[in-house]
Amino acid sequence: MNMYQTSGELVNSWYAAGLASSFQKEKTLKVELFEIPLVCWRKSDGSVVALLDKCNHRNAPLSEGKIVHDCVVCPYHGWTYDGSGQCVQIPSEGPHTERIPQKKVEYFPTREAHGLVWIWMGRDTAPDKEPFPMPMMIQEKWHSYYMVTHFENNVTDLVENFMDVPHTIYVHKGWFRDRKQIRIGATVERTADSVLVTYDQSNDSIGFNGRLVNPKKLPMKHTDNFYMPNNTRVDYIFGEEERGFIITSTCSPVKPFSTIVYTLITYKFGWLTPIARLGLNAYTRKVINQDVWIMKLHGENIRQLGQSDYRSTQCDTMHLYIESLRKAAEKGDRIPGPITKEIEFWV
């Protein structure tokens, strides 16, 4: 069975297919989610189409064809499909349009929101919610930009990595946090569709220049949140939102150990905000590439040795809660009940 067939209810959600700017008129774009190949294009009215990337005739990939009058033309024999997947022309049949088969190429709903194009992957379930609300923070004084990264690991272990504090002093040493041997307390709450973590670390700091990011040494509020099935949001807020740095990631599974992550960096640093991206872009790319490295090594070991013998401590509580929600959805089990736990660990 392929990944789609083994993912259970995890498929019943919106998954990011790419930056909105990547979808152009009169041009096909190949996308793969859950090992399902899709062909996408932007119609003349601006809407985006997503179809199964397989011609009904001889199964050739439609993504290698061209777009003509908002329709995709198969590169093999010219069979032509409109935005709903309906075959509208078979060149070898000449003018006999009545002979066009009624069978369609499978269609997947799309939405464009928050700078991304999203595809609803639930084949048997209609969309019942909107795409995850990426915090573009269009309010005055906030800026944001996207980073697109390929990871050689699975969604569950990636979202756990994005919410993991202890690894930062080893994987990101000198870039994000150095070992100080300070105690950090946290409240971890699991709901029906989220894992919410609030840290007691008002006097802590994050790696890049604190004198510029937080010159007044305002108290820091740090929260790490996971939202089913594949989204994380990490907030560092200084004072009463006077300054802030937010890292939001949505993970799109391509194959079991291949995931595209769309990371939105949102920030407000006072007078530095308009020019902060000059250095912030290089800094965040460096940190993400360090995670790419460790998650590749981690993924290789999982594939070779399995992961049934994980050992966990207090600082892994949020990871255990994430796993419980995703495993329940994958297997179609009952959703675990809500729970709140106080933990502590040292960094």
DSSP string, 118-158: EEE--SSS---SPPP------STT-EEEEEEEEESS-HHHH
pLDDT at 298 over 60: yes
Burial-class residue 105 by CB neighbours within 10 Å (0-12, 13-18, 19+): buried
Question: For tokens 């009215």, what's the residue?
Answer: 45
Check: CB of residue 15 under 8 Å from CB of residue 101: no
pLDDT at 207 over 60: no
Cβ partners under 8 Å of residue 103, min gap 6 = 56, 87
3-state helix, strand, coil split of the chain in percent (to 5) is: 25, 35, 40
Residue 183: the pLDDT is 87
The dihedral sign for the CA sequence 132, 256, 322, 5: positive
CA separation for the pair 239, 243 (Å, rounded): 7
pLDDT at 300 over 80: yes
Please compute the mean of the pLDDT values over residues 42-61 and round it to a whole number. Answer: 97
Residue 54: the pLDDT is 98
Residue 182: the pLDDT is 83
Helix (H) or strand (E) holding 67: strand 66-68
Domains, the chain, in order of start with CATH, read 3-120 (2.102.10.10), 143-346 (3.90.380.10)
CA separation for the pair 159, 120 (Å, rounded): 20
Residue 205: the pLDDT is 58
Tokens of 102: 């009624």
196: helix, strand or coil? strand
Residue 210: the pLDDT is 58
The dihedral sign for the CA sequence 233, 238, 240, 242: negative
- Percentage of the chain surpassing pLDDT 90? 74
- Percentage of the chain surpassing pLDDT 70? 92
For residue 30, what are the CA distances in angstroms to 20, 76, 240?
Answer: 14, 17, 44
Tokens of 133: 């609300």
Residue 145: the pLDDT is 95
